[in-house]
Amino acid sequence: MQNKYDLYGGDSNSMTELSSYKELPDNKSVVIFNGGLDIVYANETFIRIFRLGVSDSIYKLNPNAELLMLVKGFSEKSFKNFSSEVLLTIAETRESCLCNVWIERVIIASIQYLVVSIESLDQRKIIEDKIIALHNALDYGKVPIIITDKYQRIIFATKTVESLFSKDIDGLYYQTLYDLLRDYISFEEHQRLDFAIEKKQRWKSLINISKRNVTEYWEFNLEPFTTNDELDTSYILSASNLTEYIYQKQIIEESEKRQKLILQNISDLLLIIKKTKDDYYFENANDNFCIVFNINKDRYHLSEISKVFPEKLVIPIKAEINNMIINESPFSEFDYLHSAELDYHCKITTPLELTADTSMFIVTMKDITEEKNYRIQLEKGYMKEMLLNKMKSDFLANISHEIRTPFNGIVGYSEIIDDCIENSDYESLKEMVDSMKEVLGRSLSLFNNLVEVSQIESGEIEIERVDLNGNQVLRQVYERKIKDAASKKLDFEIDLSEQDCMIDVDWVKLERIFDVLIDNAIKYTNSGSVYIGSKIIDKQVSLVVRDTGIGIEKNQIERVLAPFNQEIEGYTRPYEGVGLGLTIASKLTKLMGGDFKIESEKNKGTSITITFQQVDSRNFLNYY
């Protein structure tokens, strides 16, 4: 009889080394007998079931005499291997079960051994049940799975595969993957599949399968696996139904596309901000917003808004959002001036519930530049209309007063004249006639002024230019007005430039200007002097009328240049007239290309300077 170490070549260390390995549970029972049918090796499963171990004899298998006779009979025969079903008794349960016994004869170092493997058919049934359960689970879960052999021929397929490709198991069995997928993938995808199989790599592809005019989307995954010590490679092909996911994705993409289209076609600027605690991030914006603020929204996505937008926009946005959160308000509004040309009205809303931690805010910015300009123009037009209405009222009041007063005087004078004629008082009669002429002259002057202003405003007045010496005009007007100044006991001074003041103007209208200005100077000066002068500085001819009269408040100067305006309005004003003199003088000056300037101080006097460009004296017309 060989001892228990013969199987390992007489080395007891080998036995110790083998015993250090751990067995997996639920293995087959394995035992090795030597030529004398003593046990030289037994795994843990055999020891547990049969209560026999190394060095025990086969003859201790008395409760399993059938196994004893089977092994003993095989040892006496010349068979290499043998397999049979045997009813054996399990030592730990004392129950009998049907087992499959497999015996193999091996020769090691010229020594014969019998290797016996015992597998419970109940255990095989459990495994088969597990396989069936797994197969049913795959079918119930509707998971398409195909297993191929090393030649890529189908050797297993779930029922879902049959339904997916509209083929029964007979039509699938032993068909190659190429034949199965030929009608569903492109030529390029076939090449990728060939390359993956050649390199024994994974392959994945999204395949469209149409059935009854309905397209389904399946993702196929091919996984290689090896058998027979990695000498042969087989494949498992599984598929996942992505139809619903693809359709949902298409719906979402279409929805996002429509939303983006709507977003980009909103004429107003639109900005989306994400607030997280105390930070404000740029989430999105439409193209109009990006153009105005010159930003790339992909580059600045989720950047802090203070790093993207101007501070004058960031500050009100943060302030208004904080107010919305504090007051639980659904929206907020403010105005933002982007530049001198762009003015916006901004509105902030939120589609989510307001929280102090995280919220989304939508800022819409409507361009109100034109609207604001229109409103300003409307206000200006309103103010102008109000001014025109006031001017009309003032005009009617002044005209009615100015016309009624002289005509009342004329009526009174006519009655006195009648009395003078009846009483043959010819001396008083002449005095009344002179007074009446004066009244009629003042009325005629009023009508002439009205006609002249009307012509100037309508652009109907004509300018007949000549080159003349301004000194001559001033002297002529001076000589006509000496008597008027003397009647009020005013010092009437004239100081003309020694050099000819040559200017290109309308002679008649220039005289008209100085008639008006000197009349006003004398009219509004009760004591003191009236001065007329001329001078030339840097080719500019300045003609001056200055008085020591009542003067004009500085804030009233622009107003008195408008038609029908006087510094003091109403029937109680101390001076006659409808306020057309300065209007006529200033407008005629500008029509002839001159500059009209008033300097005045209340109760100290007024100085009016009219300036024209000096012209060459060779064109001078000497009228003297």
For residues 338 and 310, give the distance between their C-alpha atoms in angstroms, rounded to a whole number: 9
For residues 174 and 167, give the distance between their C-alpha atoms in angstroms, rounded to a whole number: 13
Question: Tell me, what's the pLDDT at 502?
Answer: 92
Q: Per-residue pLDDT for 213 more than 90?
A: no
Domain boundary among 453, 487, 513: 453
Question: Which range marks the domain in which residue 361 is found?
Answer: 266-367
pTM metric for this prediction: 0.37
pLDDT digits (tens, 9 = 90+) for 530-571: 999 999 998 899 999 999 998 888 877 777 766 555 544 444
Percent of the chain with pLDDT over 70: 77
Cβ atoms of 274 and 281 within 8 Å: the answer is yes
Mean pLDDT of 183-190: 88
pLDDT digits (tens, 9 = 90+) for 270-280: 888 888 888 89
Question: Tell me, what's the pLDDT at 120?
Answer: 80
Q: Per-residue pLDDT for 623 more than 60?
A: no
Report the domain count for the chain: 5
Is residue 135 one of the residues assigned to a domain? no
Is residue 133 one of the residues assigned to a domain? no
Cβ atoms of 270 and 253 within 8 Å: the answer is no
CATH number for 552: 3.30.565.10
Close Cβ partners of 558 (under 8 Å, ≥ 6 residues apart): none
* Of 177 and 555, the one with more pLDDT: 177
Residues 588 and 481 occupy one common structural domain: yes
Residues 469 and 589 occupy one common structural domain: yes
Residues 414 and 328 occupy one common structural domain: no
Residues 213 and 183 occupy one common structural domain: yes
Question: Tell me, what's the pLDDT at 541?
Answer: 93
Q: Per-residue pLDDT for 236 more than 50?
A: yes
Q: Per-residue pLDDT for 187 more than 70?
A: yes
CATH number for 379: 1.10.287
Close Cβ partners of 59 (under 8 Å, ≥ 6 residues apart): 37, 68
Rounded mean pLDDT of the chain? 80
Residues 327 and 383 occupy one common structural domain: no
Residues 499 and 610 occupy one common structural domain: yes
Question: Tell me, what's the pLDDT at 5?
Answer: 43
Q: Residue 570 phi/psi, 5° resolution?
A: 100, 170
Band of pLDDT at residue 264, cut at 50, 70 and 90: low
For residues 50 and 88, give the distance between their C-alpha atoms in angstroms, rounded to a whole number: 10
Is residue 253 one of the residues assigned to a domain? no
pLDDT digits (tens, 9 = 90+) for 35-91: 888 999 998 888 888 888 898 988 887 767 788 888 888 988 888 999 888 888 777
CATH number for 271: 3.30.450.20
Band of pLDDT at residue 492, cut at 50, 70 and 90: very high
Lowest mean pLDDT among 131-140, 188-197, 316-325, 597-606: 131-140
Is residue 486 one of the residues assigned to a domain? yes
Is residue 252 one of the residues assigned to a domain? no
Is residue 1 one of the residues assigned to a domain? no
Q: Per-residue pLDDT for 393 more than 60?
A: yes
Domain boundary among 367, 395, 416: 367
Residues 363 and 376 occupy one common structural domain: no
